[in-house]
Amino acid sequence: MPILSAFLVITLLALALGFGLAVADKKLKIEKDPRLEELESIMPGANCGGCGFAGCAAYAEAVYSKTAEPGHCAPGGAALARRMGEIMGVSVADVKEKVAYVHCNAHCEDKVKAYDYQGITDCNAASILFKGDNVCKYGCLGCLSCAAVCPEAAISKSSEGIVSVDPDKCIGCAKCIKACPNGVISLIDKDSPYAIGCNSKDKGPSVTKACSKGCIGCRICEVKFPESGIKIVDNLPIFNPSEPHGQIAEAAAKCPKGVILKR
């Protein structure tokens, strides 16, 4: 009898507590705005942090609370930005789809080595000692730390040692950018017709001693082809793909180091 009584008391207490929790949940539940729920439901779920927030839900919350604007989600692209704008009743500027690009087009034999690295095959480990074993301290170390964090397996290394990103697979999450210790990777417009295959900010003589494919800042592209839209900044050519660049093909053809690359 004592055992049965204890069992009945515990059962009644459990039922009472369960009922109390159910009532409390119903009474104290905070109703979500349907707009926030819809924003959360359309997010891609990559949780890459490329938008600057902790994850997709955090970014949706920021757009809902109007502390962030639609258009910062690279995996979602322009379609997601437009849908978020529709939900929030705001106009959204055209969003350019971005992909990662490795700004180093040098083969292994093009790079002059400062020493023979024998450590862990990881770019961050290799960079601890004098920013890597290349004389050029701006180039790709080739240890594929970027590929290790890519959620879409979009990054590969050729037999010549060139690391590249497949633009059709890349979702623009920027995880590879954070993983690269030498800052060789950046996001560029997916439809950009050309890209720059060098990242060195050193002057010509120093670049020549470090890499046979490095930009020497000769300014041929800028001076002889002004309509290309190319400007030399920090000894590197830059251009805005959204602006007219009628002579960029000619500039690329005349680049003595082949740094201006057609995509």
Same fold, 34-88 and 193-263: no
pLDDT given for residue 48 in this prediction: 86
pLDDT at position 20 over 80: no
> Strands, DSSP E only, in the chain?
98-102, 155-157, 163-165, 185-189, 194-196, 231-233, 236-238, 260-262
The Cα 19–Cα 13 span in angstroms is: 10
Mean pLDDT, residues 2-30: 70
What are residue 262's phi and psi, to 5 degrees? -75, 140
Average pLDDT of the chain to the nearest whole number = 90
Q: Which residue has the tokens 């204890």?
A: 6
pLDDT at residue 49, as a whole number: 84
Fold of the 97-191 domain? Alpha-Beta Plaits (3.30.70)
Q: Where are the domains of the chain?
A: 34-88, 97-191, 193-263
Q: What is the pLDDT of residue 93?
A: 82
SS3 content of the chain, % helix, strand, coil (to 5): 35, 10, 50
pTM for this model (two decimals): 0.80
Q: Which residues of 29-65 are buried (b: 16+ CB within 10 A; e: fewer)?
A: eeeeeeebebbbebbeebbbbbbebeebeebbbbbbe
- 201-222 pLDDT, tens per residue? 999 999 999 999 999 999 999 9
Give the right CATH number for 34-88 from 1.25.40.10, 1.10.150.120, 3.40.190.10, 1.10.15.40.
1.10.15.40
The secondary element (H helix, E strand) that includes residue 209 is helix 204-210
Q: What would the CATH number be for the domain defined by 193-263?
A: 3.30.70.20
For the cut 90, the answer to whether the pLDDT of residue 19 exceeds it is no
Q: So what's the pLDDT on residue 94?
A: 81
pLDDT at 4 over 80: no
pLDDT at 16 (0 to 100): 74
